[in-house]
Amino acid sequence: MRRPVNIAYWVDERPPASVLAMAALQQGAVVLVFSFTAILLAREVGANPAQAADILGLTFLVCGAMALIQAFGARFGVGSGYLAPGSGSPIMLAPSLLAAQIGGMPLVAGMTIFAGLVTALLARTLYRLRSLLPPEIAGTVALVVGLVVGLSGVRSLLVTPDGTPPTLAAFAVAGVTLAVSGGLSVWAKGMLRFACVAIGMAAGCLLAWPLGLLHGQPGFDMASVPWVGLPHAAHVGWAFDPALVPVFAVAALAHVMKDIGMVTTLQKINDAGWVRPDPRSIAGGVTGGGVALVLAGLLGAHGTTLSATNVAIQQASGITSRVVAFGTAGFCVLLACFPRAAALLSQVPAPVIAGVLIHAGALMLINGMALATSRMLDARRSFTIGVAVLAAAAAEAVPQLSAGSAPGLRPLLSATALGALTALLLNALLRIGVRQEVTMSVPAAAIPEAAVADFATRAGASWGARPEVVARTSELVSWCLDAIIQSGLARGEVTVTLRFDEFRLDVLIRYQGAPIALRDHPPPPEALLEDDGAALLAGHMIRRRADRATVRQRGDVTELRLSVDH
């Protein structure tokens, strides 16, 4: 890994106590913002105030545990190795509400455990499925998540609970929150940048106060919430319904797709030299997400997921240190033990939350776009990415798609699930007809350099290879053909075969004639003046530029094999 220039405190660095506290506060504030999923679940099961506080507090504890699992569990194969706190999962909300209607909280808990086990099981198969889950698909999911987060902010600003139009005061509060947090993340340095989101929220709340927007939500009774108390799991029971297996299995798959996108984004944020996803880190991150879902089900909490907003805050603040996970977990414990304080913080005005979500969504969307386009795109891949994004946007723009469908289908029609599944299915379908091996022949008397370059470019785009790898391969093939033809080594045609998997691009050059000389050291200057000097130099450059190069002769047929790591 190579440290990015915009990261102030990297993965294994320890920030000062003040920076650590501020980073943990920001990460924990996002956990609090997304606690609405647990609140909605508590309402659906008819929980009284004490039970609702327990469900909310237990969800906070699971989010804190997830931060520690993801940051420090990688050595055991459970966790991504990055700062990746959890938050309430919107993906699990629709299935959980459906289960609550059928069997109450015990069925929600049991099916959440099932979803966690499916997620952990899928994590063990990701290596075999790598061709179906390339970086552009993970980037598309990250892009969709960013779009959903950003539109959630826009919706919370424009759609009021009573249906009245948003006021100018609400726009002013959201604008100030967005301007302060975004401006500090761009121009500020030191503590101001590290605390950009917290300062933006504080500025928005300060403006909301004189404008009359800093008030509790309708029906909120602060007196019914105790000041101090540990959450109880007395409401927990476990049930299982086979009819809900498809719904929760699809929700688990959507979780896997999102977690792949989030962990890949974290890898890219933390490595200036990032070229490909680390499958071990991704598998650990997805497994950690599955473990957190199982824990949520055992405790009777709402399901959690890797938080896209927390990831975006790391990029904005420049703090990606895993040590922050301890502070975030501690903040979550405090929220769980001081339910009235958590309830008070949950009353942050909607326009302030809107500004934070728009900022985070914009950063995540751009990260996903960069990841999705990090490889060459042909018509197949462009179509897949475009349709997946449009599917997610349609689910957000036309909520009637979900509301008018059967209850069992509603989890599939959420924006994140629909976008992720569309990308996954189209990628698998459109791979039909894509050959992983292509061949061309060139005459031994001439080098059609443009044709060779076009051949490699078309093949690389159909495979989704990185542009620099394809350019390097094309350069190597040209040098080989130059050396073979200028030295008069070949008789008849020269055959070039390209073969690709997700980890390397192999080249096989076959011709009848003497083998080309591969040299570990450059030829002496006087040898360059000989007739075969160019071929000697080409042999050295081929050995130097290829990751692996071998030459073998079978009878009068020479085989030159080259490999370029992808």
Is residue 561 included in any domain, yes or no?
Answer: yes
DSSP for 194-246 reads: HTHHHHHHHHHHHHHTTTT---PPTT--GGGS-SS-----TT------GGGHH
Q: How confident is the model at residue 176 (pLDDT cuts 50, 70, 90)?
A: very high
Lowest mean pLDDT among 313-322, 326-335, 370-379: 370-379
Q: In terms of domains, do 425 and 443 share one?
A: no
Beta carbons within 10 angstroms of residue 433's beta carbon? 7
* pLDDT at residue 218 is higher than 60: no
- Residue at which a domain ends, from 396, 412, 430: 430
- Cβ-based neighbours of 131, under 8 Å, separated by 6 or more: 431, 501, 502
- Residue at which a domain ends, from 364, 395, 430: 430
Is residue 327 included in any domain, yes or no?
Answer: yes
Is residue 182 included in any domain, yes or no?
Answer: yes
Is residue 9 included in any domain, yes or no?
Answer: no
Query: In the chain, how many H helices and how many E strands?
Result: 20, 7
Chain segment 42-101, per-residue pLDDT in tens: 767 777 667 777 888 899 999 999 999 999 998 888 999 999 988 888 778 768 877 888
Residue 529, domain extent? 437-565
- At 320, list the tokens: 């990606």
Asked if 294 contacts 116 with a C-beta cutoff of 8 angstroms, the reply is yes
Q: How confident is the model at residue 472 (pLDDT cuts 50, 70, 90)?
A: confident
Is residue 3 included in any domain, yes or no?
Answer: no
- Cβ-based neighbours of 323, under 8 Å, separated by 6 or more: 13, 14, 15, 20
Q: Could you report how far apart the first and last alpha carbons of the chain are, in Å?
A: 16
Asked if 12 contacts 72 with a C-beta cutoff of 8 angstroms, the reply is no
Is residue 230 included in any domain, yes or no?
Answer: no
Mean pLDDT of 431-447: 77
Q: In terms of domains, do 441 and 295 share one?
A: no
Rounded percentage of the chain residues whose pLDDT exceeds 90: 24
Residue whose token pair is 């995540």: 364
Cα 547 from Cα 563, distance rounded (Å): 6
Q: In terms of domains, do 498 and 393 share one?
A: no
Residue 482 in 3-state DSSP? Answer: helix
- Cβ-based neighbours of 488, under 8 Å, separated by 6 or more: none
Taking the mean position of all CA atoms in its chain, how far away is CA 341? 32
Average pLDDT score over the chain: 83
Q: In terms of domains, do 422 and 476 share one?
A: no
Q: In terms of domains, do 412 and 452 share one?
A: no
Q: In terms of domains, do 273 and 386 share one?
A: yes
65-93 per-residue burial string, b: 16 or more CB within 10 A, e: under 16 = bbbbbbbbbbeeebbbbbbbbbbbbbbbb
Beta carbons within 10 angstroms of residue 346's beta carbon? 17
Q: In terms of domains, do 444 and 468 share one?
A: yes
Q: In terms of domains, do 351 and 474 share one?
A: no
Q: In terms of domains, do 127 and 276 share one?
A: yes
pLDDT of residue 528: 59
Asked if 143 contacts 321 with a C-beta cutoff of 8 angstroms, the reply is no
Cα 258 from Cα 138, distance rounded (Å): 8
pLDDT of residue 245: 85
The model's pTM is 0.68
Higher-pLDDT residue of 530 and 463 is 463
Number of independent structural domains in the chain: 2
Distances (CA, A) of 422 to 97, 138, 244, 557: 24, 12, 21, 47
pLDDT of residue 532: 62
- At 545, list the tokens: 């530029």
214 phi-psi bin (left φ>0, alpha ψ -120 to 50, beta other): beta
Q: CATH number for the domain including 541?
A: 3.30.565.10
Asked if 267 contacts 84 with a C-beta cutoff of 8 angstroms, the reply is no
Is residue 6 included in any domain, yes or no?
Answer: no
Lowest mean pLDDT among 339-343, 362-366, 396-400, 536-540: 339-343
Q: In terms of domains, do 279 and 338 share one?
A: yes
Is residue 7 included in any domain, yes or no?
Answer: no
Q: In terms of domains, do 147 and 291 share one?
A: yes
Q: In terms of domains, do 206 and 276 share one?
A: yes
